[in-house]
């Protein structure tokens, strides 16, 4: 490793300057000061020599959520260790770990600025049947297509994670109950209009069920909000067939999300 020229000059010259000033006229005071500063300077230069990097003036906190959020619009974010742990390998969306890191930050921001924050839960309709009929590789292609359709409808500040097998959770900051229905409708339409293809080039129409919740009206924690979104999603899915399923939706949530898929 090469030491920068200015550091090499300082390392060689500083002891001689200190000695000259110490024995010069009025050098007692200056000598005391320089003798105090000299070990610090030498230690600094030694650390630079050993590490090969500049010591930062102010150490910033590592923010893995911020780093991965900057990669959201891209299909293939940088493959660093932190990013790989926060990315679902199939869809290239952030995974549940990212959600746990980032959602509390969004809640804190909404609280600080007194702004709305909404959450959408999305399940692919009949995904188990798709896997059984067309095979798991086809199911994987369906999930990647759903991820692309969702991403096409989101802003740069929104985030979508693959939470479980066929379940996605979208975080929409700055949008409250008056605007979240429009976002939900756009996402649902994008999935329904997406051109999905299974074995042999056969086209397949895929739909999804969505439910939403808004902070702070529907709850102040992720658990409370996702329970409300889950109940609304399943209430609409079963409406007209078995009637509203508010309680059933909540039971499904509390039992399944103990162990996310990723």
DSSP 83-108: HHHTB-TTT-SB-HHHHHHHHHHHHH
Which residue from 161, 195, 148 is spatially nearest to 86, judged by alpha carbons? 161
Q: Identify whether the C-beta of residue 161 lies closer than 8 Å to the C-beta of residue 87.
A: no
CB atoms closer than 10 angstroms to residue 41: 15
**Token couple for 118:** 């909404």
Residue 95: closest CA among 6, 163, 141, 152: 163
Judge whether 18 and 34 are in contact, CB under 8 Å: yes
Tell me the H-state helices in the chain.
Answer: 5-23, 27-51, 64-69, 81-85, 96-113, 127-134, 136-151, 180-193, 222-238, 246-256
Token readout for 49 is 């020599």
Active site residue 166: yes
* Catalytic, out of 88, 123, 166, 230: 166
| 13 phi, psi to nearest 5 deg | -90, -35
Residues assigned a catalytic role: 166
């Amino acid at each position: 490793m090469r030491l920068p020229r200015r550091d090499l000059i300082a390392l060689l010259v500083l002891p001689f300057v200190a000695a000259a000033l110490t024995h010069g006229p009025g050098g007692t005071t200056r000598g005391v000061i320089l003798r105090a500063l000299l070990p610090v300077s030498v230690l600094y230069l030694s650390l630079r020599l050993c590490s090969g990097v500049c010591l930062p003036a102010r150490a910033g906190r590592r923010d893995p959520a911020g780093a991965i959020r900057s990669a959201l619009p891209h299909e293939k974010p940088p493959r660093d260790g932190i990013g790989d742990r926060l990315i679902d390998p199939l869809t290239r969306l952030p995974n549940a770990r990212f959600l746990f890191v980032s959602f509390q930050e969004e809640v804190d921001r909404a609280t600080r600025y007194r702004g709305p924050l909404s959450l959408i839960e999305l399940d692919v309709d009949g995904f188990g049947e798709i896997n059984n009929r067309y095979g798991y590789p086809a199911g994987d292609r369906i999930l990647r297509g759903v991820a692309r359709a969702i991403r096409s409808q989101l802003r740069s500040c929104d985030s979508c994670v693959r939470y479980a097998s066929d379940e996605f959770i979208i975080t929409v900051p700055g949008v409250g109950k008056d605007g979240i229905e429009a976002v939900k409708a756009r996402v649902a339409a994008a999935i329904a209009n997406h051109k999905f293809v299974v074995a042999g080039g056969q086209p397949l129409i895929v739909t999804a069920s969505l439910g939403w919740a808004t902070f702070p009206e529907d709850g102040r924690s992720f658990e409370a909000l996702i329970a409300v979104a889950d109940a609304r999603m399943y209430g609409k899915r079963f409406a007209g067939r078995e009637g509203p399923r508010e309680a059933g939706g909540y039971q499904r949530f509390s039992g399944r999300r103990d162990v996310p898929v990723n």
